[in-house]
A and B are shown apart, each in its own frame.
Chain A
């Protein structure tokens, strides 16, 4: 949940109770929204059962077609992983590993390889839960069109629903109508936006927003930034500057950086994560557009190589289309074609 992730949590004792409540809510919301077929939780559940079935049948049929473990089987597995954008190196690593385990543990049953492979990927993803309740400044960064502004709207919506005070900062002063776009989301969610003119200094917007957040004791300030390619060093410098200003002014607020990655992206996402991390120290990743057919398998390598955890996923264009990243369902979906 967002509160755990970005330090918006309430008292610890409440956590468990909350969990139950949330589950109840899931049921309720689902019933409520079943007819429009568009509710988050309805979709989530539907999505999960779909991917689980898909996963099981896809993999099972794959493994069933082999009565013993052989080279072709491994090649098929490689193929599946590559097609999920897991990348050559990670794929080879995973497959080498299950090969070795199969040998060591004298595994004869192809089916058993499923579990090993899944466990391996889960281990690579190695999700850690953050649990901190400080008011937070969340700086959202990423390449052009990744889904930053939309994700900000969604996060704001979520925090709002958790009764948090949310403030947005229109830090993309570059792209045409970027400010209006954020304002549109803010209107929908019902939050305030701090903005300057198009072409203004992004750091100045951030500065003002942080001051405002501090004086209003806002729980969550989300700073939008202009999309930029990670290779544009002048723009990356500018981003560093924005973060410096935020950190300098943050006072009691915690500063976190969320990198938004488009799940449609292939291996270039590794480079994106690396360079954004170098510039502004990324704390977590939001993986967007998982409602398409792309799998986003590249985040496994990112998690492994750079240690950046995946926190959120985007599954649509509406405010409610945001979910926590669930490693298990993510791994299931990798194999669902």
Chain B
């Protein structure tokens, strides 16, 4: 199967990247190629993918990602963020008109799910305390009117129809009058499915729009739609100026790349998602979930989250152990430092050390100074790292020479480390039960002060 293993493939690629010490621009590009394939497999339109990837690439080849401990995961995160962003925030609301009735017009291709969506929306409005009028304006498909009438019966809600011999423009106009005299505060127009290239029928929609001036024109799109989604959405939006999109049949296994294509082409929000055949199966749309789904990354993302959690815990445990036994050495410090430096955000990793995060909020790291510290510690022997107390005059000179620094630099590092150790011990003593909480009192984290 096409989709199977895609998430793993992506993960593999990123794992490979992770194995490399440093990440080049080329590495990122090849990872983005996998992302590109994932998007295409999910039916995101080709041109949309192209634009999207170049946008992500801009962000992803930045230093922040290239030097991070988890570059692959960073790339995924960026992709996910950008996808979510592109699909807009959840705006599942339909604004009620200040002057009722609120007129909602459903449009779309044949078989997209308009009639069912009309019923679902009606159900939603009823729940909202509204009294919607359903309008059967599909005079073409056999039994389309009957279908809406059956739904109306189920909802115990009136359905306006004039048979299939009248002009849909006249039907919708008459329907509005009916709603006004009947006191229906919402009107839902179910129009016939039509091809976006059918000039005549597209013109009919324009006429309906002109005649009844809907408050909300929604485009109903099948989430299984392929590359053609952009053409359809573009044309409907061009002709009618749609206000939003309803994505249907999301209860299947479609990746739903059409969602992204449509958003990026029209800039209009996806307001609702159809997730089943029952009338209550209409949900507000979640761009973030959709983003993961498009990438086929649902699992991988949670995996990453888990990995992060685990790393967090392991670190915390080790550190806790060390601190409790007062065994935090320069070696450990070097370890930490290395990890810190591999992470995209320095603060992020420090944030992961329990009790430290909130102390370094406005800390500005000096990369040069970190280089120095690393060089100094690298020039120490194992014994020296484990027991910095033994580093006296001659050793200090040797270390300074070996690391290309001054003796003062070595002195300062040792002094700062001692302070840190002391502080760490304090923390350890303070939180005998573990390191979950916040660190109380105390000054700056000495090393970086």
Contacts and interface: CB of A to CB of B under 8 A. Distances in A.
Interface of A: 79, 82-85, 87-89, 143-147, 174-178, 180-181, 183-185, 198, 229-232, 262, 264-272, 274, 289, 291-295, 298, 301, 317
30 contacts: A82-B227, A84-B227, A85-B226, A85-B228, A88-B37, A144-B111, A144-B277, A146-B111, A147-B110, A176-B148, A176-B151, A177-B146, A177-B149, A229-B252, A231-B251, A231-B253, A264-B225, A266-B258, A267-B2, A267-B41, A268-B254, A271-B3, A274-B1, A291-B195, A292-B109, A292-B196, A293-B197, A293-B231, A294-B226, A317-B110
B251 A229 contact: yes
A85 B46 CA distance: 10
Given A88-B37, A265-B226, A271-B3, 20 more contacts: A82-B46, A85-B226, A88-B41, A145-B222, A176-B147, A176-B150, A177-B147, A180-B143, A180-B146, A181-B141, A231-B251, A264-B222, A266-B254, A267-B42, A268-B253, A270-B1, A270-B2, A274-B1, A289-B109, A295-B227
A108 B109 CA distance: 44
Contact of B2 (A79, A87, A264): A87
Interface string B262-276: 000000000000000
Interface string B395-416: 0000000000000000000000
Contact of B142 (A185, A229, A231, A268): A185
A271 B253 contact: yes
A54 B246 CA distance: 34
Given A264-B109, A264-B225, A175 B147 contact: yes
Contacts of A180: 142-143, 146
Contacts of B121: none
Contacts of B253: 230-231, 268, 271
Contacts of A84: 227
Given A82-B46, A145-B112, A292-B195, A266 B224 contact: yes
Contacts of A271: 1, 3, 253-254
A245 B3 CA distance: 33
B110 A145 contact: yes
A36 B277 CA distance: 39
Nearest to B252: A229
Contacts of B3: 267, 271
B46 A83 contact: yes
Interface of B: 1-3, 37, 40-43, 45-46, 109-113, 140-144, 146-151, 154, 195-197, 222, 224-229, 231-232, 249, 251-255, 257-258, 277
Nearest to B49: A82
Interface of A is mostly: loop
A230 B196 contact: no
B109 A301 contact: no
Nearest to B261: A266
Given A229-B252, A289-B110, A264 B142 contact: no
A184 B222 CA distance: 25
A224 to B, nearest CB: 12
B110 to A, nearest CB: 7
A143 B252 contact: yes
A42 B28 CA distance: 53
Contacts of A87: 2, 41
A181 B143 contact: yes
Contact of B46 (A79, A174, A289): A79
Contacts of A178: 143, 147
Contacts of B258: 266
B46 A264 contact: no
Which 8 residue pairs spanning A and B have beta carbons closest together? A266-B226, A145-B111, A266-B43, A184-B142, A176-B150, A181-B143, A177-B146, A177-B147
Contacts of B222: 145, 262, 264-265
A267 B196 contact: no
A152 to B, nearest CB: 12
A268 to B, nearest CB: 4
Given A84-B227, A176-B147, A293 B46 contact: no
A178 B151 CA distance: 12
Contacts of B41: 87-88, 267
B228 A145 contact: no
B140 A317 contact: yes
A274 B253 CA distance: 12
Nearest to B250: A229
A294 B112 CA distance: 14
Contacts of B231: 293
B143 A268 contact: no
A170 to B, nearest CB: 11
A20 to B, nearest CB: 35
Given A84-B227, A143-B249, A180-B143, A268 B255 contact: yes
Contacts of B251: 229, 231-232
A298 B231 CA distance: 18
A198, A269, A274, A294, most chain B CB atoms within 10 A: A294
Contacts of A317: 110, 140-141
Nearest to A90: B2
Contact of B228 (A143, A146, A231, A264): A264
Contacts of A231: 251-253
Given A176-B147, A177-B143, A177-B150, A85 B227 contact: yes
A293 B150 contact: no
A183, A271, A291, most chain B CB atoms within 10 A: A271
B149, B226, B231, most chain A CB atoms within 10 A: B226
A88 B112 CA distance: 25
Contacts of A266: 43, 224-227, 229, 254, 257-258
Contact of B43 (A89, A175, A198, A267): A267
B3, B45, B222, most chain A CB atoms within 10 A: B222
A274 B252 CA distance: 14
A293 B228 contact: yes
Contacts of B226: 85, 264-267, 269, 294, 298
A178 B141 CA distance: 11
Contacts of B154: 176
Contacts of B277: 144, 174-175
B158 to A, nearest CB: 16
Contacts of A267: 2-3, 41-43, 226, 255
A89 B147 contact: no
Contacts of A270: 1-2
Given A82-B227, A181-B147, A268 B252 contact: yes
